[in-house]
Chains A and B, each alone.
Chain A
Amino acid sequence: MATIQRIRYKLSHIIRSTKTVVTANTKTFYTTTIAYLILYLYVIGDLRFTGGNYSIRIADTTLMFKQISPFYFEGLAVISTPFITLILSPLNLFIGGLIAALVGINIAFSITGFRHPQECSTNNATGLLSVVPALLGGSACCGPILIFVLGLQASSTLLTFFGILIPLALLLLILTAIYSSLQIDIDALRRATS
């Protein structure tokens, strides 16, 4: 029982801590999340800053759940404007949004730790370092193409590596967010940011 109560307490602390940090850094959280999502969609090839006429080309919607490569799914439509071409894939948007939100949370923790060192015993760099696996995760779907871009020699090891990048990125982002959240004195931080 004591163990379960400790777990529930920790979970509650993590959630409250995250909410407090995000609330205190709303602009940073949303800016980082949106910027990372745009970067993610660009890296996986679903977004390009070139276009043509305004058009929407609808694809076979039954393919929505079809995986093209690890954690990269078919799209429903191609939306073209004079400046942007977007492949609309709900699942790619979900995965990218999840990673982006976790990056935003980690950056918010990092800034909070920098601004309020007394209330947060976290390492300021932890949040920033979490961006690295997140960026690698964004390339997971496109490993075979990245091989050509970087001029690498393809091997089964390298190709397998790309397949685990996104779950690895998610795991690292979640772990760093949990670690950061547990270092925070929530009440002290709320007093300092009110």
Chain B
Amino acid sequence: MAVASSLITTGCLHAPSRRDSGGELPLADAKVPLTHSLDVYSRNIVSGGVPKDGIPSIDDPTHGDGKYLGENDVVFGVEINGEERAYPQRVLVWHEIVNDVLGGENISVTYCPLTGTAVGFMRGETTLGVSGRLLNSNLVMYDRKTDSLWPQILGQSVKGELKGEALQEFRVVWTTWREWRDEHPETTVLTRDTGYARNYSRDPYGSYNPVMGYYASGEPNYPVMNTDTRHPPKEVVVGARTSDGPVSFHKDTLRREESMVKQVNGTPHRAIYNDSLDTARVKRSGETVNSFDAMWFSWAAFYPDTA
């Protein structure tokens, strides 16, 4: 898809200070470096085939001990202020967003099945919902206070009253139930009592246990703004974006190497693999920055200049 590009650098994502949009959404001072203007991103948003809230967010979650989970089920682990919780992929695949309270904080744990991304955002006094639209196959969220649109991977609004603002993020660990529980024995788990009748034993796109269907291979089904053939489209990378720019680390390579360093505009960014959770942290000059797993095609679509 032919688009004009203009680099917009707006600050350091790794050191956000708290500010809010009038008591509602907590916003980050720092914003993700963008390759295109917000209007160009906005024009590339397409319908995902479902209406707004056609994929319903979980807004009244309940928590339990996770007895319904299999040992190798994928979960998204979150720890806030010492409180730990696992959000099973098999539940979130049907809802994509859960608006919850953890460690005394109002949070949204978001998951996009099409791009394999799980990202956490602070939501303040409002909630996030699924707009039914996609950008580079990625979930486009909306906030229920202003109706602004927020592509999940960007974490920045591209349309609406809060256009140009960035959400505050927190770390979400993509791991398995066994690994998360072993590391966090006091964890609670999102239950299947979501208020919606869904068969949570079935994943409409495929499977991660074992990896099959849409998740295993193939091209993206929706238009993307950029294509990069350095990796197969569905290969997982660990991505981070800082004031220096975006960087990604091929996860399989990281598993073997355990540590990798890339220069991003002259600043070293190190990814350190954690075997016990099969996850990685990214440090910029020794300071941890937020990072998350992503399918390569989606990372390259948003960040064609990625290191």
List residues of A whose CB falls within 8 A of some B CB.
Answer: 45, 48, 50-52, 57, 59-60, 63, 67-69, 74-78, 85, 87-89, 143-145, 147-148, 151-154, 156, 159, 162
Contact = CB atoms under 8 A, between A and B. Distances in A.
A81 to B, nearest CB: 12
B61 interface: no
Contact of B196 (A63, A144, A148): A63
Q: Give chain B's interface residue range (CB within 8 Å of chain A).
A: 20 to 34
Nearest to A151: B218
Contacts of A85: 199, 201-202
B47 A59 contact: no
B214 interface: yes
Contacts, number: 71
A63 B60 CA distance: 14
Nearest to B134: A154
A52 B201 contact: yes
B221 interface: yes
Contacts of A143: 49
A43 to B, nearest CB: 12
B47 A78 contact: no
Nearest to B221: A154
B185 interface: no
B195 A144 contact: no
Nearest to A163: B49
A156 B46 contact: yes
A59 B49 contact: no
B197, B201, B214: residue with the most chain A Cβ atoms closer than 10 Å: B197
A50 B200 CA distance: 12
A147 B199 contact: no
B197 A57 contact: yes
B197 A87 contact: yes
B198 interface: yes
A26 to B, nearest CB: 34
A152 B221 contact: yes
30 contacts: A45-B204, A48-B199, A52-B201, A57-B192, A57-B197, A59-B194, A59-B195, A59-B196, A63-B195, A67-B51, A68-B54, A69-B49, A74-B196, A75-B197, A77-B197, A85-B201, A85-B202, A88-B197, A143-B49, A144-B48, A144-B50, A147-B49, A148-B221, A151-B218, A153-B221, A154-B46, A154-B222, A159-B47, A159-B49, A162-B49
Given A69-B54, A144-B50, A60 B195 contact: yes
Given A69-B51, A74-B197, 10 more contacts: A45-B202, A50-B202, A67-B51, A69-B54, A74-B196, A151-B218, A151-B221, A153-B221, A154-B49, A162-B49
Shortest 9 CB-CB contacts between residues of A and residues of B: A75-B197, A144-B49, A59-B197, A60-B195, A159-B49, A145-B204, A87-B197, A78-B197, A148-B214
B83 interface: no
A51 B199 CA distance: 10
A48 B221 contact: no
Interface string B256-295: 0000000000000000000000000000000000000000
